Amino acid sequence: MKIGPALEHLHSSQRDLADELQALAERHATDHDVYHVGGMLAERCDRLAKGLGPFLEAYGQDEPDDDGSDIVRTFAERVRRTTAAMVGRSDKAGLLLLRDLRELYVHAQETEIDWTIARQGALVARDQALDITCLTGMQETERVVRWLKTRIKEGAPQALAG
């Protein structure tokens, strides 16, 4: 079975998505909708990534790496918040946000299809628990994709017209 490597790939994609959502929320902390909803989605994505831990082990992969030290994360967060405060009043803020949302949209779609692939694996392996986990993952990443698309459609006209 080659499900293990697929799950490992999914896990890393999902974890990166969580990190990037968090980074987006912090970088655009002065855009309050992105800050609050992005932060909430980051937490949910992180929980989904963690939920894959037992399956990784079951399919013969190593335990996932630690997320990095708290000191590094806190420092990175502070840098991003300062950046947010600096660009918060700039008329470039709209375009910067659009660029970041676009990048994340592409990533979220990749993660969504990774869940779909993993779910097909779960079906062929007759693994019901993994199947349920993957279905939740598909729904949640679809939600992220839809939110990003809504945000992009709403923000793009003003960013491009200005």
Partner 1 sequence: MDRIRDVWGERTPFQLGGAWPERVDLYLADGLEESDVDRWVRSACVLCSYGCGVEIAVRDDRIVGVRGVAADHVNHGRMGPKGLYGWQANNSTDRLTRPLIRSEGKLEESDWDTAMSMIVDRSKQLLSDRGPSAFGFYTSGQLFLEEYYTQAVVARAGLGTAHLDGNTRLCTATADAALKESFGCDGNPGCYEDIDACDTLFLVGHNVAETQTVLWARILDRLHGPDRPALVVVDPRETSPAREADIHLAIRNGTNLPLLNAIQHELIRTDRIDRAFVDDHTIGFDEVANLVEHYPPERAADVCAIDVEDIRRAAELIGRSERLVSTVLQGVYQSHQATASAVQVNNIHLLRGMIGRRGAAVFQMNGQPTAQNTRETGANGDFPGMRNWANMEHVAELATLWNVDELTIPHWGPPTHAMQIFRYAEIGSIRFLWVTATNPAVSLPELHRIRSILAQERLFLVVSDAFLNETAEFADVVLPAALWGEKVGTFTNADRTVHISDKAVEAPGEARSDFDILLHYADRMGFRDRDGEPLVKWREPEEALRAFGALSKGRPADYSGLSYARLREGPVRWPCDEARPDGTPRLYTDHVFPTFTDYAEDYGHDLLTGAALEEADYRALGVEGRARLRAAEYVPPREAPSDDFPLRLTTGRRVYHFHTRTKTGRAAELDAAAPDVWVEIEPSDAQALGIEQGDLCVVESPRGRVIAPAKLTGIKQGVVFVPFHYGSWDLKGNGGQTRAANELTMTAWDPVSRQPLFKTASVRVSKAPEVR
- Per CB under 8 A, residues contacting partner 1 are 30-33, 36-37, 39-41, 88-91, 93-94, 143, 146-147, 149-150, 153-154, 157-159, 161-162
Coil/strand/helix, residue 79: helix
Nearer to partner 1, 36 or 73 (CB): 36
Nearer to partner 1, 28 or 119 (CB): 28
In the complex, the smallest distance separating the C-beta of residue 32 from partner 1, rounded to whole angstroms, is 5
Distance CA 109, CA 141 (A): 8
In the complex, the smallest distance separating the C-beta of residue 91 from partner 1, rounded to whole angstroms, is 4
Distance CA 108, CA 145 (A): 6
> Both tokens of residue 130?
């993994």
Nearer to partner 1, 54 or 162 (CB): 162
In the complex, the smallest distance separating the C-beta of residue 118 from partner 1, rounded to whole angstroms, is 23
Answer for the pair 35, 25: CB distance below 8 angstroms, yes or no: yes
In the complex, the smallest distance separating the C-beta of residue 4 from partner 1, rounded to whole angstroms, is 31
Nearer to partner 1, 41 or 52 (CB): 41
From residue 43, how far is each of 81, 127, 138, 140 by CA, in Å? 18, 26, 16, 12
Nearer to partner 1, 21 or 122 (CB): 21
In the complex, the smallest distance separating the C-beta of residue 15 from partner 1, rounded to whole angstroms, is 20
- Nearest CA to 133 among 1, 2, 10? 10
Distance CA 126, CA 131 (A): 8
